[in-house]
Amino acid sequence: MTNESMDKNFEELCYSCRTGDMDNVDRLISTGVNVNNVDKFDNSPLFLASLCGHERVVKLLLQRGAVCDRDRYEGARCIYGALTDAIRDTLLSYDISKAVDVKQPFATHISSLYNDEGILKRDVSFKVSNGRVFTAHRFLLCARSNILAGKMTNEWLKREVISIEVRSDIFEIFLKFLYLIPILHQIEPGQYEELINLSSKFKIELLSEFLDKARHISDPTEKSRLMSDYQYKFTEVARKQLLVFVNNCIFGSAIDLVDSAQQVTSPMNCPAYPDIQLAVKNRNGDTRLYPCHLAILNRAEYFRVMFTNNFKEKVTYVKAKYLPGECNCVIPQLTLPNCEFEVAEIILRYLYADNTDIPWMYAVDVLLLADILLEDRLKTISSTIITQSKEFIEQYNVFDVLYLSWEIGVERLEQFAAKFIAIHLQELYNDPEIKRAIVLSSERISFRQETDTIELVDDIRYYLLRKYSFEPDDVELFENQDDLEYLKQVGYLEYRKDMEMVDHILAELELDV
């Protein structure tokens, strides 16, 4: 299908999403049109269906791969532009149900902590005016508000239940906001003033700013647009706040262990308020302890399995030293697979704040550790950094990258290596490593037949076509040409030279493919 027909199909898809033509939407999706594309007004099909109130179309789009990622502006627009509560609930439930989906990493996980009563420890309670009690994670409140952090270290330091004079409905909305749960559409006009006062009291300035603007807007469309704009800002501010918290309170409170019997500071005396320690040993044998939170480490499948399945023997418990005259407590300790402290801190920044700033020199170590932690999204990000860094390929051998891709199953790296080999084939032809790589690739086929293809060879041949901008049909035409000058001009002679090198290597290895 040509690009022109695909563009026409996408325009028709957008129109059908606006009109609610379910059957035509279904047909158009089957043509392979990109359901996550946007039209000239920056509207996605999902946004149009949501805005126009077509719930069945919204559900179909979600089932066929439309992304409602509220970490991004487009996802927030869909949620807050929804015409009906039913559609909004569909989008939110789809979002929440994918709390560990690689496309929805940060905001949804933080939101999921609000209702998760499992192993994710909450360590502070608030008793409001009518006696209702709300529980929360002390560390998250401290990260989200400097005022709350100050109170936690002073008048609320040893209090497990904190009384606060505020209506329960107001405090519930406020607390959900801190957990990044989309609540703006639930706020009634009669709640605005008290919410502004409460958010101002704890210097949650962005919420106060939104509420002050929203109460003066009566047009539903304008208000929906304001909600979507601010929800995106809320997420980005929270991400930055969690990153500051990690750098200051977790890394700033980390302890370099000198003595294995060394006691650590009480969780209540640590600004991170941890409920778990993460022990990291580097290549020199030095150990560093990071005060962490199971609620966040739980984002990684490795830690989640450790605490929910029969792997609790991997968890040790250490004493945490309280102030003089107080009892000692025990705190669980997990050990991260051996790595440099810089790599461990990259992992923690990612888990806490979705920070993906990975220097190229640590990309391989992060990739290997992400593989152990079963963090596929982080593996993809690390692989992308490897393939886009000129410095990396200058320091690492391309065959090392290839073998690494096989070891941990990252297709992006495998394709990168094959493409690099194809582009630089004439330089690598005499390198014995290319023969070894082809042999190893052939051995990756179970019960290989004599004439089976070899994946690496197939990939090299494919990228040789790309190298010279040829299609397979072009090669057939060139083979019947006698005009050498023309064949040289179009690059066919160089292409043929590269292909003969591949064939010669295979002949030397006695591989018939």
In sequence order, which residues have a C-beta less than 8 Å from that of residue 352 and are 6 or more positions away? Answer: 242, 243, 245, 246, 250, 296
**Residue 513: pLDDT band by 50, 70, 90 thresholds?**
low
What integer is the mean pLDDT of 111-139?
A: 86
Q: Which residue has the tokens 């996980």?
A: 109
pLDDT over threshold 80, residue 440? yes
Q: How far apart are CA 388 and CA 385, in angstroms?
A: 5
Residue 156 and residue 131 share a domain: yes
Q: Which domain holds residue 22?
A: 3-104
Q: How far apart are CA 405 and CA 432, in angstroms?
A: 20
246: in domain: no
**Residue 452: pLDDT band by 50, 70, 90 thresholds?**
low
Highest mean pLDDT among 185-189, 248-252, 268-272: 248-252
Determine the pLDDT at residue 313.
47
338: in domain: yes
**Residue 117: pLDDT band by 50, 70, 90 thresholds?**
low
Q: What percent of the chain lies above the pLDDT cut of 90?
A: 47
Residue where a domain terminates, one of 185, 212, 241: 241
Residue 212 and residue 173 share a domain: yes
DSSP annotation of 152 reads H
What integer is the mean pLDDT of 100-116?
A: 70
pLDDT over threshold 80, residue 322? no
249: in domain: no
Determine the pLDDT at residue 102.
34
Through-space distance between the first and last CA atoms of the chain, rounded to whole angstroms: 32
Residue 148 and residue 28 share a domain: no
Q: How far apart are CA 124 and CA 152, in angstroms?
A: 10
Q: Give the helix, strand, coil percentages of the chain, each rounded to 5.
A: 60, 10, 35
Residue 143 and residue 80 share a domain: no
Residue where a domain terminates, one of 183, 214, 241: 241
Nearest 10 degrees: Cα torsion 44, 45, 47, 52: 140
Determine the pLDDT at residue 321.
47
248: in domain: no
Q: Is 162 helix (H, G, I), strand (E, B) or coil?
A: strand
Residue 489 and residue 414 share a domain: yes
Residue 143 and residue 76 share a domain: no
Q: How far apart are CA 203 and CA 303, in angstroms?
A: 34
Q: Which residue has the tokens 């290989």?
A: 448
Would you say 378 and 409 are in contact if contact means Cβ atoms under 8 Å apart? no
Residue where a domain terminates, one of 70, 104, 138: 104
Q: How far apart are CA 57 and CA 82, in angstroms?
A: 13
Lowest mean pLDDT among 113-127, 283-297, 375-389, 439-453: 439-453
Q: Which two tokens stand for residue 500?
A: 């003969």
pLDDT over threshold 60, residue 266? no
Residue 125 and residue 57 share a domain: no
Lowest mean pLDDT among 75-89, 170-184, 255-269, 372-386: 255-269
CATH number at residue 213: 3.30.710.10
Q: How far apart are CA 277 and CA 336, in angstroms?
A: 10
137: in domain: yes
Angle, alpha carbons 339-345-349 (nearest 5°): 140
Residue 402 and residue 383 share a domain: no
**Residue 236: pLDDT band by 50, 70, 90 thresholds?**
confident
What integer is the mean pLDDT of 430-436?
A: 94
What integer is the mean pLDDT of 285-298?
A: 93
Amino acid at 503: D
Which backbone phi and psi does 339 adopt, to 5 degrees? -165, 170
Over residues 185-220, the pLDDT tens digits come to 889 989 999 999 999 999 999 999 999 999 888 887
pLDDT over threshold 90, residue 178? yes
Determine the pLDDT at residue 42.
82
Q: Which H or E element spans position 127?
A: strand 124-127
Q: How far apart are CA 435 and CA 150, in angstroms?
A: 63
Determine the pLDDT at residue 40.
85
**Residue 268: pLDDT band by 50, 70, 90 thresholds?**
low
CA distances from 185 to 53, 59, 189, 208, 374 (A): 16, 21, 11, 15, 36
Determine the pLDDT at residue 6.
61
Residue 138 and residue 59 share a domain: no
Determine the pLDDT at residue 130.
93
Show the DSSP H helices in 354-397 as ranges: 363-372, 376-388, 390-395
Q: How far apart are CA 88 and CA 93, in angstroms?
A: 9
Total of domains in the chain = 4
DSSP annotation of 191 reads G
Residue 214 and residue 328 share a domain: no
**Residue 27: pLDDT band by 50, 70, 90 thresholds?**
confident
Show the DSSP H helices in 145-283 as ranges: 146-153, 168-178, 192-201, 205-214, 220-245
325: in domain: yes
Would you say 153 and 144 are in contact if contact means Cβ atoms under 8 Å apart? no
Determine the pLDDT at residue 71.
58
Residue 88 and residue 12 share a domain: yes
pLDDT over threshold 90, residue 125? yes
3-state secondary structure 275-340: CEEEEEECCCCCEEEEEECHHHHCCCHHHHHHHHCCCHHHCEEEEEECCCCCCCEEEEEEEECCCC
| CA-wise closest residue to 198 among 170, 221, 156 | 170
Residue 157 and residue 76 share a domain: no
What ranges make up the beta strands (E) of 394-453?
none
100: in domain: yes
Determine the pLDDT at residue 224.
74
What integer is the mean pLDDT of 18-47?
A: 82
247: in domain: no
Q: What percent of the chain lies above the pLDDT cut of 70?
A: 86
For residues 205-214, one letter each, b for 16 or more C-beta atoms within 10 angstroms of the residue's C-beta and e for the rest, the string is: eebbebbeeb
Lowest mean pLDDT among 267-271, 292-296, 369-373, 482-486: 267-271
Would you say 205 and 191 are in contact if contact means Cβ atoms under 8 Å apart? no
What integer is the mean pLDDT of 290-319?
A: 76
Would you say 261 and 321 are in contact if contact means Cβ atoms under 8 Å apart? no
What integer is the mean pLDDT of 336-356?
A: 93
Chain-wide mean pLDDT for the chain? 84
pLDDT over threshold 50, residue 439? yes
